[in-house]
Copies of this chain bind each other. A is one copy, B any other.
């Protein structure tokens, strides 16, 4: 492994520590590697070593190129300095993708506490968005002003271009209220962004990997907490794909859970969305009439459609709905073709 330290901004004391692993040779099926950018926490007053190297190790083991950004803190942390530090780091990482043997479109970011705020800002506001973000007991709301007056709420910045997110925290965190995680999820849900989240019953703020070398073994903290590390690696495989034959396999987990925010309609839009557009509604009305005539499914299940059930159905994608009533794939594909002609306005 090669280790390098790059000064990104001497005045503000911003550095990027670079951990680069070999490719090829005995790593037969490794041509390039996905990458992880670590943003330690520390209330925008410091960048904690406890959330730097110990966090890098498991991703290195999992086959990642890993970078640690020590961003602007204290007086230098006035917004948007930290975000600009991030932008600079991410631009550098992607621009050297060839040299550093990494996939420019598989660069994740992980941040803790205030670093989690910066990761959330990166995921929602940056020009150079990461491809996935891991938010550890992150400050995402206005609560950030408690440690950095100039830093923004990120929840209201969640948009359709936000990357898939993995959140973890303890419910009893007494520094960053758990509402920071809950409300961020809510925003992700509104925009149909993929996510996973683990809120553990109890434990203090700032546990990092929860290894006994970073968090005292006698800490009163849920025994499930250390699982976030392996779970996040497993999740990254779902959103980035896994090492295959000289390339990464296709991800099983798409970035958006439905097509409601894409430029054109599709069978992956929710039923509700499709019914709200006159053109697609016309198509569906015909389809529904046919189905009602066939009508077997409803009879079989003994369920009658009413407005409330309709409310539920409105949230399903058309694809799922059609699969549920055993519609042949060829018909679904045909519908998809039709819908993809219609602008999503």
Cβ 8 A contact of A50, one of B27, B164, B174, B223:
B27
Residue A252 lies at the interface, judged by CB distance under 8 Å to chain B: yes
Q: Mark A189-216, 1 if CB is under 8 A from B, else 0.
A: 1000011111111100000010111101
Q: Residue on B with the closest CB to A302?
A: B45
Residue A3 lies at the interface, judged by CB distance under 8 Å to chain B: yes
C-alpha spacing A165/B50, complex, angstroms: 31
Distance (Å) between the CB of A299 and the closest chain B CB? 13
- Quick check: A213 and B306 within 8 Å, CB to CB? no
- Quick check: B29 and A216 within 8 Å, CB to CB? yes
Which bucket holds chain A's interface residue count? 35 or more
C-alpha spacing A239/B172, complex, angstroms: 14
Q: Given the known A-B contacts A146-B311, A182-B186, A185-B199, are A211 and B62 also in contact in the complex, defined by CB atoms under 8 Å?
A: yes
Beyond A174-B315, A197-B198, 20 additional pairs, beta carbon < 8 A: A25-B49, A29-B216, A33-B213, A57-B57, A57-B58, A58-B61, A63-B214, A145-B309, A146-B310, A171-B194, A171-B195, A171-B257, A182-B186, A182-B189, A185-B199, A196-B199, A196-B200, A196-B222, A198-B198, A224-B231
A residues lining the B interface (CB < 8 Å): 1, 3, 21-22, 25-30, 33, 43, 45, 48-50, 53-54, 56-58, 60-63, 74, 142-143, 145-147, 149, 164, 166, 171-172, 174-175, 177-179, 182-183, 185-186, 189, 194-202, 209, 211-214, 216-217, 220, 222-224, 227, 231, 234-235, 237-239, 242-245, 249, 252-253, 257, 301-303, 306, 308-313, 315-317, 320
